[in-house]
Amino acid sequence: MDQAGYRPPRYSARYGARDPWLAGRVRAGAYLVWRAAFAIWRPAILLLLLAAALGFAVKAAAELDVAPPARPEEERLAEAVQTSVGDGRGWWVEALGIALDPASGRAPDLVLAESLAPSLPRLLTPDSLARLVLVEAGRSGRHVEATLRAEPAWLRDQRLDTALRARLETAEGRGASPPELVFAPAPVSRRLGRARALYGPAADAVESWFSESGGRALVLSGAPGLEDAPAGAALYGDVRDLLVQACALAEQAGRRIGQCRVAFLPKPAANLLVAGIALTTTGVEGQARVGARVLKAAASAGLADDAYIGSLVLGTDTALAREAILASAMPLIAEAGERYTRPVYSHDDAATAATDYARATGIDEAQRNRVLAHLGAIRRDAGALQAVRMAGVIRSEADAARLAALAQQYGHQTLALHQALGAGILDLAAAPQGSLHIDISETAWRYGGIAAGFLLLAIGLVFWVLLAGFYRTRGGAPGFVERMDGRMTRLILGRNY
């Protein structure tokens, strides 16, 4: 009752029903039960929808295949090195010494030494190397570890980074190049400097040959790290290699071709695989052509996987490949002497021969070109001689892609990792990256969709109640639920006549 003595009508009176106190105990009890049910049905439905959404969401989560984040790349690499060679720093010092050993009777392996020199932080992880710096500063290993463990993570990381950076900057200021050589014995650093001065220009010339031969011959046994190549193994350029190898195949097959017998034409032993790669080289462009030159050098030096590379460039029938090479190259080797002296005029004819050869053998040109492009990328990122020396680990297109990814990541240090890990280097690229991986199955998608549907229904119910109330307070007509409530109220309590 308000101050004017007005008593607002009861809830039932709004619907034209009798007051519950005047309807009798049975009707009043039934009315109270109805009012309680009517008051809780919408919250109950909302709770049921939310419970159903939660239940199906839990089922969907149970169907997810969640892979935890992989360990940091530097930790995986250091562990792989330790498993393969044991003491990373000891192996690094020994490998550098062997590569530059003046008593070995051969030229220093400058390519490997240049790859090894800056790679120590990768072999040990920068944190391990920084701990070594702190120990060498005069503290015991136990004292260093105890101090680092007692510090917060951010302070420990800052201390290690500062110690390593200061050591490398000091070494660089003293002329060490790369500064990581400060961790190697002094004689090793001096030998590397002398090797750069004496053999660096020759190594640079070999590297440039794979971009453009310029009419020069490349004797493989004279290249750094390829001293074990077969005697006489040499490359002469794209067209010239095709002429030389095709003539060697023709001679082996007993076919007498006068132009193949001119005195100035090299006459190596026949090698079907090298001949196939030589012909392939003239038919591809860009990175694939550079990769084909790398592969040709690796096959000539005996460093390629003959089984896989043979299937890539020769197909499954080697007898057919041999005949296809001879047939497609015959117009060229019929004039071998003249074409050898002027190879620049034979590029188009050689490319036509390569196309005819690929058509005759039915090889997968797309796959072959992808592998060659990967080799070209390895040569670009790591170096030509490094690519030649690592070609043996490629036994599938996936291997080529992994090695190319590693070369892009590690650059000229890739050969050092290959030296330490061998074919196991490919496992670094195959390992998962340091992020959470979630594989969503079809069942998980289905349960997740059902959960989302129930959640949308619950949200829709809330909006419906809010909008209905807003509409009613603005003078709108009663809705279906309100009309049903009125009918039930009048039915239970009776009309108020």
Domain boundaries, the chain: 12-66+440-493, 73-201, 210-435
Q: Confidence band (pLDDT; 50, 70, 90) for 328?
A: very high
- State how far the alpha carbon of 123 is from the alpha carbons of 133, 181, 329, in Å: 15, 14, 48
Q: Name the 3-class secondary structure at 253.
A: coil
Count of CA atoms in the C-beta half-sphere (13 A) of 36? 6
- How far is Cα 302 from Cα 236, in angstroms, rounded to an integer? 17
Q: What are phi and psi of 304, to 5 degrees?
A: -90, 160
pLDDT of amino acid 1 = 47
- Burial of 291-321, coded b for 16+ CB within 10 Å and e otherwise, reads bbbbbbbbbbbebbbeebbbbbbbbeeeeeb
Check if the beta carbon of residue 363 is closer than 8 Å to that of residue 318. no
Mean pLDDT (the chain) is 81
Asked which of 215-219, 377-381, 459-463, 488-492 is least confident by mean pLDDT, the reply is 488-492
The mean per-residue pLDDT over the stretch 391-416 comes to 92
Q: At what angle do helices 73-85 and 88-99 cross, to 10 degrees?
A: 70
Higher pLDDT, 329 or 2: 329
pLDDT of amino acid 66 = 60
Asked which of 35-44, 54-63, 426-435 is least confident by mean pLDDT, the reply is 426-435
Higher pLDDT, 14 or 389: 389
Whether residue 473 is predicted with pLDDT greater than 80 in this model: the reply is: no
Strand pairing report for 65-67 and 437-439 = antiparallel
DSSP H or E stretch at residue 262: none
The mean per-residue pLDDT over the stretch 377-404 comes to 93
Radius of gyration of the chain (CA): 40
- How far is Cα 29 from Cα 404, in angstroms, rounded to an integer? 82
Check if the beta carbon of residue 116 is closer than 8 Å to that of residue 137. no
Eight-state DSSP code of residue 495: B
Check if the beta carbon of residue 263 is closer than 8 Å to that of residue 246. no
- How far is Cα 46 from Cα 52, in angstroms, rounded to an integer? 10
Which tens digit of pLDDT belongs to each residue from 188-211? 888 888 988 988 898 899 899 998
Helix %, strand %, coil % of the chain (to 5)? 75, 0, 25
Check if the beta carbon of residue 341 is closer than 8 Å to that of residue 244. no
Higher pLDDT, 473 or 459: 459
User: Which of 164, 138, 134 has its CA nearest to residue 149?
Assistant: 134
User: Where is mean pLDDT largest: 28-32, 56-60, 414-418?
Assistant: 414-418
User: Which of 200, 224, 196 has its CA nearest to residue 104?
Assistant: 224
Which tens digit of pLDDT belongs to each residue from 57-89? 888 887 776 655 545 666 777 778 777 777 778
DSSP H or E stretch at residue 437: strand 437-439
Asked which of 228-237, 292-301, 442-451, 460-469 is least confident by mean pLDDT, the reply is 460-469
- State how far the alpha carbon of 266 is from the alpha carbons of 106, 234, 248, 258, 343, in Å: 26, 9, 9, 14, 14
- How far is Cα 379 from Cα 211, in angstroms, rounded to an integer? 10
Q: Confidence band (pLDDT; 50, 70, 90) for 6?
A: very low
Check if the beta carbon of residue 281 is closer than 8 Å to that of residue 300. no
